[in-house]
Amino acid sequence: MRYKPWHALRSPRAVSGLAGVLLLVFMMVFAPHLWADAASAANVAERLQRPSGSHPLGTDQLGRDLLARVLVATRLSLLLTLGSTAIAVCGGVVLGMVATVVPRVLRRGLTALLEILMSFPWLLLTLFFTVIWGASAKGALLAVGFAGIPTVARLTYTMSSSVAGRDFVRAARIVGVGPLGILGRHVLPNIRPVLVVNAAAVASVTLLSFTGLSFLGLGVQAPDYDWGRLLAEGVGKIYVNPVAALGPGVAVLVTALILNTLGALASEAAGRTPRIAGKAAPRLRAARIPASADEPVVEVEDLRVSFPDGSGGLVERVAGVSFTIRPGETVGIVGASGSGKSVTAMAIAGLLGPAAHVRATTLRFQDIDMSGEPDAAARRKLGLGLSVVFQDPLTSLNPVLTIGRQLTEVSEVHGDLGRRDARRRAQWALSLVGIPLPARRARQYPHQLSGGMRQRVMIGMGLMGTPALLIADEPTTALDVTVQQNVLRVLHQARERTGSAILFISHDIALVSGFCDRVLVMKDGLIVEELDARQLDRARHPYTRALIACVPHMTTDRTRPLPVIADFDGSEDAEEIHA
Amino acid sequence: MTIPSTASIEPSASPPEGDATRRRGRHLPGLSPRLTFLRRRVIRVLVSLALVVVATFLIVHIVPGDPVRAALGPSATPTLVAHARAELGLDKPELQQFADYVTGLFHGHLGLSLQTQRSVGTTLGDRLPVTLTLAGVAFAVAALLCVPIGMLTAVAVYRRRRRWLGNTVQWLLGAFIAMPDMLLGVGLIALFGITLHALPVAGWGTFAQLVLPVVALAIGPMSYLARIVHVEMLSVLETPFMTTARGKRLPAHLRYLRHALPNIITGALTAGGLVLTGLVAGTVIIETVFAIPGLGTTIVTSITAKDYPMIQGVVLLYASLVLGLNLVIDLILTALDPHSSLLEG
Amino acid sequence: MSHTLEYDGLSVRYGRGGSAHQAVDDVSLVVRPGTVHGLVGESGSGKSTLAAATVGLVRATSGAIRLDGTEVTRGTAGRRARRRIQLIFQDPHSALDPRMSIGTSIAEAMRASGRRRSRVERRQRVRELLELVDIEPDRYREPPAGFSGGQRQRITIARALAAEPDVIIADEITSALDVSVQGVVLNLLRELQSELNLTMLLISHNLAVVRYVCHTVTVLRHGRVVETGDTERTLSDPQDPYTKALLDAVPVLGERPDWGSVA
């Protein structure tokens, strides 16, 4: 499916933006012809009049109609704005791109200079340049334009170097594409959308700067006039006729808003990537798992979770899942990315974002209904009894709070422990997950710990209460294999010590089989098979068999090609497309 | 007001991804990264200051034509012009002029105004407190208001409750950002000064005279900062550590104030630094609108009158203000941010 | 098409003075013609840096990299030789220019072959290459966004082949892919290698992948060579404790590791 740009033009914002542009262009081209006479004809008899039917904004001290003057001023105001924007954008883009390819020493110098220039406000730079080029329309055009160059250059440089660091540019460098080729073929096309968005923003700021300069008497000089001059003249007579000052001001405001709308439209268009229609998950019958005799920790029946797809509809990511977890049991969910395994786990924890639509016949943790908003008592119970370990331990710990703080607050909020007791408990939990010198570590911040240690802290956080369920969502995927073992051991020991059940999510079936009692295999939002972890060789579903066979392991026959999923279920393209 | 660029994509460092080399040993073991960062910043400010000194010195030399003749007008007698030239030191060799200029700066001599014949230093000394008060009060107002507004609208939008309110406020903020300072000023004068007769519209000295200029000056930056806070807050709300906090079932005030707020402070303060310097510059316009005798009106009148010694002095002062404020913001940032993501740059 | 890639005491250091970090430390190894050599290591082992140094993306601090005896890190001759080494990246989503059609991306790589081709010849060659990696040749005009991760990785393989390289370096090419499609890419790589008799350096943290694809293997740790030798023998009878630890850490299907007891 290809993205059709004209579709974006249907929104109310797009309509108003385009109407605004048409209005501006019309005024720029025709206003001087239509109202030039009214704007310049002096009529001393009617000087300094308040607004009336024949002069909606009143007249100035020579009796000229102010509305006509505001409309006629559109041309000069806009031409100056466009001129300066062109200077700022062209100069900035060239300078920014050059900075990306010049040798390192030059590049350092250039970026340092840009940083310094950028630390001065635009208006100040403009005033400085005005001193040089003089208080005139031409001087202001150059001053405002040049003052804008550093901002654009810096933006271009940052974006270019981020694009230049990406693999496809490295690939081009490896095959011998030169610096100019890289800039022209790869960098410019990739930064163009953002540049367009920013050009609109620059134009808006430019307009305001011009108005400011003319207002201060440093821009356009009499007998010419732009909105800034009219504003200044109006302010001089504000006691006679306040509207005289507001009129040109409103013209500036409306134009700035139109420019901002254009920028927003451009960024909308730039942000839209070709969309691939979400595959409707096939409605297979979900395997029903019989509930066990003792009271389960987690009970899920016909869980369905959907998310907005961005064009008003909903995509079902979990399509009717049912299972239970008994106390102390270790259950694994295996599946490819996009199979709905994490969404299922987060639904049980009640931690899906507000965008998710969760429906289920039953969705319970102990006796708490997780499909609704928990009350205070339920929150307390959840805070102490259910904890979650995420894939990336660096981002799942708060970077600005100490490890100790993040542990103790669980007990302080829910467990009614005093600060000192909570601190003691935190040290106990940290030593339990094998962190040496827990008292010292508790005072440190997450970035001072290694990846494996952070993940152990996350597990320790769950031990602050009386855990009944620990959800581990790909807890070792971001870690090295040798560290992975360590973290799994800690997880295992935590379970042994507390009797907590574990829900273990992973894409690695070998890992899950070694850790769990029971394995659920998920595909396209459904559980396709449930297995005893010790009897994976009895897997019946083709997808499970494929998952087991299609990854090489340490005993794979090296003389034969690996089986692929298509060999098992005959589907043409079993992979999901990631847009 | 001037809208600073918000792009924050940093160029990638040289080590390829995949190897976790970046986080190891990039700083001298003896010197804390914080100090390294500060040292770099101080050096930058000094270099900037040197550039500003050179630039202000050059003003008189790169202006096309004879600056003295331009300043005194065509009617001035040749003796008067020659006298003024000597006063400015323009009859000496250029290197000598620069040396005199710099030594003068170190002794606090900024020369005499061509217009009033008063010492530039004294004039600026009189006007500086006015501008500082105006900008300082406006910044305080903006800083105090932006955080609650930005956070509340972000939470409303994120939780999909009362979204219309959040969106309306956001739209209003957008309009305020696009509004030129002088229009705000004029609107306020028209409404409170002329129609309601509630507040004085010009002059300086009383509290009542402070109200309208401060409001006119603060609304734009406040809106801009509130937007930054809003965006930062939204992205913080999406982070895994906020999910962890929700997983701990912490009450809302702890999640937002203890977990989210410190994480948006860095971004907000960085933007705040830009806004503060923009605000200092914004005084130029507001002072003119409200006829306040500060640095802003001084720079405008001196440029119009081509009073070069005064221009040099006031530009130098403004630039030093901006650089000083930047340095202060950097100091606060390093003190606040234990994670020091800044230091990686 | 038999070429030798040789590393002789290669060292790469990032930074200077006290903040320096030795990413690759005196590494020597030989990739023999027509074979696949595996480079195994965890994060921080320097394996990606080694790849980047080979194709000239980072500068070697000391030591030499030779392709058929020509030093590739220095001089114009070296630069020319370097183009005969192609790198396949880990993340197929960032390895293709999102604003360029896949056909153009592949055609761009042909310039490294040093052969002059007309527009028609280039298009013909693009189609052949796409066919070779099992991508519908008629889709050459499409941007990468329409392809899945596995398909994109196959396209980057086609791009590497377009340069007609003497040596291919594959840097973690399956680790960003879903398990369900890793097999497809590995099969393709093995097929191409034996069909075209390619010389290849395969970098991976996954011992099973290395074992499946490579003839010989080198284990890296903190930038240093820990062990090197024939794949089968090294992995079945490791000499170095680190290699042993790595092997022990590999999860085995249905096998419960010894977690130890709490008591």
| Block mean pLDDT (10 aa), chain C, length 263 | 86 78 91 94 88 90 91 85 90 90 93 86 94 92 89 93 92 83 88 91 92 94 93 92 90 74 48
Claim to verify: residue C176 and residue C77 sit in the same structural domain = yes
B319 within a domain of the structure (yes/no): no
The closest CB to that of C179, out of A274, A481, A551, belongs to A551
CB within 8 Å of A459: residues ≥ 6 apart: A389, A433, A470, A475, A487, A490, A491, A494
Is the pLDDT at B253 greater than 70? The verdict is: yes
| Whether B25 and C43 lie within 8 Å, measured CB to CB | no
Q: From the CA of B19, how many Å to the nearest CA of chain C?
A: 5
With beta carbons under 8 A apart, name residues in chain C contacting B26.
15, 19, 21
Claim to verify: residue B211 and residue B268 sit in the same structural domain = yes
Claim to verify: residue C158 and residue C175 sit in the same structural domain = no
- Structure confidence at residue A373 (pLDDT): 83
Q: Lowest-confidence range among A261-275, A511-525, B276-290?
A: A261-275
- Nearest-angstrom CA–CA distance, A261 and A266: 9
**Boundary (domain end) residue, out of C164, C185, C207:** C164
Claim to verify: residue B232 and residue B296 sit in the same structural domain = yes
**Boundary (domain end) residue, out of C130, C164, C198:** C164
Q: Lowest-confidence range among A83-92, A280-289, A538-547?
A: A280-289
pLDDT band at residue A567 using 50, 70 and 90 as cut-offs: low
Claim to verify: residue B101 and residue B219 sit in the same structural domain = no
The closest CB to that of C180, out of A336, A497, A534, belongs to A336
pLDDT band at residue A365 using 50, 70 and 90 as cut-offs: very high
Claim to verify: residue C62 and residue C184 sit in the same structural domain = yes
Q: Higher confidence at residue B76 or residue A84?
A: A84
Claim to verify: residue B191 and residue B91 sit in the same structural domain = no
B329 within a domain of the structure (yes/no): no
Is the pLDDT at B1 greater than 50? The verdict is: no
pLDDT band at residue A371 using 50, 70 and 90 as cut-offs: confident
Is the pLDDT at B10 greater than 50? The verdict is: no
| Whether A552 and C191 lie within 8 Å, measured CB to CB | no
B11 within a domain of the structure (yes/no): no
The CATH class of A13-156+191-269 is mainly alpha
Is the pLDDT at B14 greater than 80? The verdict is: no
- Site from A168, A341, A490 to mutate, C interface, most C CB atoms within 10 angstroms: A168
Number of domains in chain B: 2
Does A551 lie at the interface with C, CB-CB under 8 angstroms?
Answer: yes
pLDDT band at residue B222 using 50, 70 and 90 as cut-offs: very high
Q: How far apart are the first and last CA of chain C?
A: 61
Inter-chain Cβ pairs, chain A and chain C, closer than 8 A? 196
Instruction: Give the helix/strand (H/E) hosting C39.
Output: strand C36-40
pLDDT band at residue A294 using 50, 70 and 90 as cut-offs: low
Helix/strand number for chain C, H first, E second = 9, 10
- Domain map of chain A by residue range? 13-156+191-269, 298-538, 539-579
Q: Rounded to the nearest 10 degrees, how much is the dihedral formed by the CA atoms of A427, A429, A435, A438?
A: 0
Token pair of A235 as six digits: 């302010």
With beta carbons under 8 A apart, name residues in chain C contacting A493.
259-260, 262
Instruction: List the single residue in A with minimal CA-CA distance to C251.
Output: A511
| Whether C47 and B28 lie within 8 Å, measured CB to CB | no
| Whether C44 and B19 lie within 8 Å, measured CB to CB | yes
With beta carbons under 8 A apart, name residues in chain B contacting A383.
248-250
Sign, CA dihedral A110-A111-A114-A119, equals negative
Helix/strand number for chain A, H first, E second = 21, 11
What is the complex's ipTM, to 2 decimals?
0.84
Claim to verify: residue C221 and residue C247 sit in the same structural domain = yes
Claim to verify: residue B144 and residue B288 sit in the same structural domain = yes
C222 within a domain of the structure (yes/no): yes
Domain residues for B241?
Answer: 132-305
Q: Rounded to the nearest 10 degrees, how much is the dihedral formed by the CA atoms of A437, A439, A440, A442?
A: 120
User: Cα A469 to the chain's mean position, in Å?
Assistant: 31
B27 within a domain of the structure (yes/no): no
Claim to verify: residue C8 and residue C39 sit in the same structural domain = yes
C263 within a domain of the structure (yes/no): no
C60 within a domain of the structure (yes/no): yes
C256 within a domain of the structure (yes/no): no
Is the pLDDT at B17 greater than 80? The verdict is: no
Q: Higher confidence at residue B131 or residue C16?
A: B131
Mean pLDDT score, A12-17? 81
**Percent of chain B scored above 70 by pLDDT?**
87
Nearest to C228 by CA among C236, C218, C238, C237: C218
Claim to verify: residue C147 and residue C218 sit in the same structural domain = no
B6 within a domain of the structure (yes/no): no
- Structure confidence at residue A361 (pLDDT): 92
Over the range C213-231, which residues count as b (16 or more CB within 10 Å of their CB) and which as e? bbbbbbbbbebebbbbbeb
With beta carbons under 8 A apart, name residues in chain B contacting C52.
16
C90 within a domain of the structure (yes/no): no
Token pair of A158 as six digits: 């940052």
Is the pLDDT at A281 greater than 50? The verdict is: no
With beta carbons under 8 A apart, name residues in chain C contacting B21.
14, 21, 23, 44, 49
Claim to verify: residue B98 and residue B149 sit in the same structural domain = no
pLDDT band at residue A2 using 50, 70 and 90 as cut-offs: very low
Does B249 lie at the interface with A, CB-CB under 8 angstroms?
Answer: yes
Claim to verify: residue C73 and residue C178 sit in the same structural domain = yes
| Whether C23 and B20 lie within 8 Å, measured CB to CB | no
Q: Are A273 and B194 in contact (CB under 8 A)?
A: no
- Structure confidence at residue A342 (pLDDT): 92
Claim to verify: residue C1 and residue C79 sit in the same structural domain = yes
Is the pLDDT at A287 greater than 60? The verdict is: no
B325 within a domain of the structure (yes/no): no
- Structure confidence at residue B24 (pLDDT): 37
Give the length of chain A: 579
Q: From the CA of C125, how many Å to the nearest CA of chain B?
A: 31
The closest CB to that of A154, out of B5, B282, B339, belongs to B5
B67 within a domain of the structure (yes/no): yes
- Structure confidence at residue A6 (pLDDT): 54
The CATH class of A298-538 is alpha beta
- Nearest-angstrom CA–CA distance, B210 and B204: 7
Q: Lowest-confidence range among A23-27, B249-253, B271-275, C114-118?
A: B271-275
> For strand C36-40 and strand A368-369, is the pairing parallel, antiparallel, or unpaired?
unpaired
The closest CB to that of A260, out of B178, B244, B338, belongs to B178
Domain residues for C130?
Answer: 96-164
Does B135 lie at the interface with A, CB-CB under 8 angstroms?
Answer: no
Claim to verify: residue C51 and residue C108 sit in the same structural domain = no
Is the pLDDT at B340 greater than 80? The verdict is: no
**Percent of chain A scored above 70 by pLDDT?**
91
**Boundary (domain end) residue, out of C147, C164, C181:** C164
Does C49 lie at the interface with B, CB-CB under 8 angstroms?
Answer: yes
Claim to verify: residue B109 and residue B245 sit in the same structural domain = no
Does B232 lie at the interface with A, CB-CB under 8 angstroms?
Answer: no
B259 within a domain of the structure (yes/no): yes
pLDDT digits (tens, 9 = 90+) for A231-245: 888 887 877 787 888
- Nearest-angstrom CA–CA distance, C102 and C129: 11
Claim to verify: residue C121 and residue C149 sit in the same structural domain = yes
Instruction: Give the helix/strand (H/E) hosting A79.
Output: helix A66-101
Number of domains in chain C: 2
Claim to verify: residue C57 and residue C180 sit in the same structural domain = yes
Q: Higher confidence at residue A356 or residue A309?
A: A356
- Nearest-angstrom CA–CA distance, A222 and A350: 68
| Whether B277 and A161 lie within 8 Å, measured CB to CB | no
pLDDT digits (tens, 9 = 90+) for B95-127: 888 888 888 888 877 888 877 788 888 889 899
C257 within a domain of the structure (yes/no): no
Does C94 lie at the interface with B, CB-CB under 8 angstroms?
Answer: no
Over the range A71-102, which residues count as b (16 or more CB within 10 Å of their CB) and which as e? bbbbbbbbebbebbbbbbbebbbebbbbbbbe
Q: Are B69 and B76 in contact (CB under 8 A)?
A: yes
The alpha helices in chain B, defined as continuous H runs, are 33-62, 67-72, 78-88, 94-106, 120-158, 163-178, 181-188, 207-237, 240-247, 252-253, 261-289, 295-305, 308-336
The closest CB to that of C46, out of B19, B26, B30, belongs to B19
With beta carbons under 8 A apart, name residues in chain B contacting A399.
241, 263, 338-339, 341
- Structure confidence at residue B175 (pLDDT): 83
Mean pLDDT score, A173-188? 87
Claim to verify: residue C80 and residue C148 sit in the same structural domain = no
User: Mean pLDDT in chain B?
Assistant: 79
Claim to verify: residue B144 and residue B105 sit in the same structural domain = no
Claim to verify: residue B110 and residue B144 sit in the same structural domain = no
Q: From the CA of A463, how many Å to the nearest CA of chain C?
A: 15
Which CATH number characterizes residue C26's domain?
A: 3.40.50.300
| Whether A218 and B303 lie within 8 Å, measured CB to CB | yes
pLDDT band at residue A271 using 50, 70 and 90 as cut-offs: low
Query: Which segments of A411-542 are extended strands (E)?
Result: 469-473, 501-506, 518-523, 526-532
- Which residue is listed with tokens 């042994």? A496
Mean pLDDT score, A395-399? 89
Over the range A206-242, which residues count as b (16 or more CB within 10 Å of their CB) and which as e? bbbbbbbbbbbbbbbbeeebbbbbbbbbbbeebeebb
Is the pLDDT at A389 greater than 70? The verdict is: yes
- Structure confidence at residue B339 (pLDDT): 52
- Structure confidence at residue B29 (pLDDT): 45
Mean pLDDT score, A136-149? 90
- Site from B12, B17, B21, B37 to mutate, C interface, most C CB atoms within 10 angstroms: B21
Claim to verify: residue B137 and residue B286 sit in the same structural domain = yes
Q: Are C49 and C63 in contact (CB under 8 A)?
A: no
- Structure confidence at residue B140 (pLDDT): 92
Claim to verify: residue B137 and residue B98 sit in the same structural domain = no
C260 within a domain of the structure (yes/no): no
**Of A193-202, B220-229, C16-25, which one has max mean pLDDT?**
B220-229
